[in-house]
Structure 1
Amino acid sequence: MIEASGLTKRYGKTLAVNDLSFSVAPGKVTGFLGPNGAGKSTTMRMILGLDNPTSGTVRIDGRRYQELKHPLRKIGALLDAKWVHPNRSARAHLKWMAVSNKIPVSRVDEVLDAVGLTSVAGKRAGGFSLGMSQRLGIAGALLGDPEVLLFDEPVNGLDPEGILWIRQFMHRLADEGRTVFVSSHLLSEMALTASELVVIGKGQLIAQSSTKEFVARATEVTVKVRSPQLDQLRVVLQHASATITDEDGGIEVSGMDSDRIGELAAANGIVLHELSPRTGSLEQAFMQMTGDAVEYHTELEAEARHVLEPTR
């Protein structure tokens, strides 16, 4: 488990992280979301002891990173896929990491195979594509068979097959009871990967909840309805104070759930051909919840935000 309490980081006059508290539990993939400049990378660096907090604490299973004797056995991380020495081979890089933490060297070939790099293990890391470098970084994170894993933008540079692989891989790690904390700007992918979310803006916590709860709280649920008696149904729903929007082949209803619509239709002898609840997307919820926490807006971003925000 990762526990941050009152975490604050200042760089001169800049307040990068401001009294941030959250926890990341094992057995789930937890997404770490926020606009650019929200403080995500700084927070991850403080978790790993790369930056010291100005105040507050962050602990991994009750201990600070600096207190871990062999840290790679407790927590594995991928923050920068290109930090590897370019003239080292993938195998040599991982072997060096293994020796530094007294990890059996046999583990090197195991993680290379796990991430699909066995065939290029002897090649220089400097010649790797970004996708291959991401896989090597993931192999390094897995090297000590840790209980806690941190990934910062792990799908950058991966093709669709690679993105599917890392999504399934993270689910498998969580199913094994590990703590998996992942930051990404690909919200559509996070919606499929993360069951829990920690969302921050301007260094402060905006929300911590399940992904489903976050989307439901920030976006309006509507219901698509099709019926051969649409005109009659429209009158019934409007009389019950529902808001109706015409849609190709049917109507979209807001302000009323599907159960109530079905009950009203049945009570009035109206046949339904479709009754489909529609929840908002993670992208819509994110834009809605973080709108006030974005440092800089372009005109195009402002227009996109207006389009994505649900009508109230």
Structure 2
Amino acid sequence: MIEATGLTKRYGKTLAVDNLTFQVEAGRVTGFLGPNGAGKSTTMRMILGLDNPTAGQVLIKGKRYRELKDPLRTVGALLDAKWVHPNRSARAHLRWMAAANRIPAHRVDEVLDTVGLTSVAGKRAGAFSLGMSQRLGIAGALLGDPEVLLFDEPVNGLDPEGILWIRKFMHRLADEGRTVFVSSHLLSEMALTASDLVVIGKGRLISQSSTKEFVSRATENAVKVRSPQLEQLRTLLVQAGADVTDSDDGVTVSGMDSEKIGELAAANRIALHELSPQAGSLEQAFMQITGDSVEYHTGLEAEAQHVLEPTR
């Protein structure tokens, strides 16, 4: 478990993290989301003892990072995929990490095999693509077989096969009872990967909940309806107070759930060919909730935010 309490970080007059409190539970993949400049990287650095908090604290299994004995055996992290000497081979890079943390040398080949780098283990890391560097960074995080894992943008540079591998791998780590905390801007992937979310903006906590709760709370669910008597049904829905918009082959109804729509259609002997709830997306929820926390808006972003905001 990771537990942050009142975590605060100032750089001169800049307040990067502001009284941040959250928990990351074991056995779950927890996504760490926020707009650019929200304080995600600073928070991760404080978790790992790379930056000292101005106030508050963050504990890993009840201890500060610097209090951990053989920390690589407790916490594994990937913050910068290119943090490696370019002239060292992948195997040599991992061997010095293992030696420095009293980890058996045979573990190096195990993690190289796990991330699919065995065939290039003897090649210079400086010649690696970003995707290969990401895999090497993940191998380093796994080296001590830790119970807690932190990943910052782990799918950067990976092809679709690599992204799918990362997703399944993180789920497997969580299923083993490990704590997995992952920061990413790829919201579509986070929707499939993270069971829980910690969302911050301007250094402050915006939300901590399950991914499902976050999406349902921030977006209005709609229902797709198809019917051979669509115009008659549309009139009845509007009269009942629902919002109806055209879709490719039917209408999308908000403000009324599928049960009430079905009952209304049945009461008026209207046939239905489709009645399917349409859940909101994580991307919609994220933009809706963090809109006020984005430091810089482009014209298109402002327009998208306006579209996503409910009519007052």
Which band: TM-score by shorter chain?
over 0.9
Residue of structure 2 equivalent to 1:54 = 54
Give the SS at the match of 2:270.
coil
CA distance in 1, matches of 2:276, 2:155: 32
Give the distance between the partners of 2:265 and 2:304, measured in 1 at CA. Answer: 36
Partner of 1:274: 274
Q: By how many angstroms is 1:4 displaced?
A: 0.3
**Residue 115 of structure 1: CA displacement?**
0.2
Tell me, in whole angstroms, the C-alpha distance in 1 between the residues paired with 2:248 and 2:148: 48
Structure 1 unaligned segments of length 5 or more: list them.
Answer: none
What letter is aligned with 2:170?
M
CA-to-partner distance for each residue in 1:94-144, whole Å, 9 max, x for gaps?
Answer: 111111111111110000000000011111111111111000000000001
Tell me the residue number matched to 1:218: 218
Distance 1:50 1:284, change over 3 A: same
Equivalent residue, structure 1, for 2:112: 112
Q: TM-score, normalised by structure 2?
A: 0.97
Q: Structure 2 counterpart of 1:147, which letter?
A: E
Q: Which residue in 2 is equivalent to 1:303?
A: 303
Q: Secondary structure at the match of 2:181?
A: strand
Aligned residue in 1 for 2:77: 77
Summarize the alignment of residues 4-19 of structure 1 with structure 2, pairs less than 5 Å apart: 4-19=4-19
1:66 aligned partner = 66
Q: Could you tell me how far 1:202 is from its partner in structure 2?
A: 0.2
Q: List 4+ stretches of structure 1 deviating above 6 A.
A: none
8 Å Cα contact 1:287-1:309 kept in structure 2: no
Deviation at 1:301, TM superposition (A): 2.4
Q: Which structure 2 segments of 5+ residues have no match?
A: none
Residues of 1 paired with 2:241 and 2:20: CA distance?
A: 42
Equivalences for residues 185-264 of structure 1 within 5 A = 185-264=185-264
In 2: Cα distance, 1:119 partner to 1:311 partner: 56
Q: In structure 1, what is the Cα distance between the partners aligned to 2:178 and 2:234?
A: 50
TM-score, with length taken from structure 1: 0.97
2:287 maps to a residue whose letter is M
Instruction: Report the residue type matching 1:30 in the other structure.
Output: T
Aligned residues: 312
Say which SS state the counterpart of residue 126 (structure 2) adopts.
helix
| Partner residue in 1 for 2:138 | 138
**Whole-Å Cα distance in 2 between the matches of residues 240 and 189 of structure 1?**
38
What is the rounded CA distance, in whole Å, between the counterparts of 1:249 and 1:155 in structure 2?
36
- Asked if the contact 1:222/1:254 (under 8 Å) is kept, the reply is yes
Q: Distance in 2 between matches of 1:57 and 1:99?
A: 30
Q: CA RMSD in A?
A: 1.2
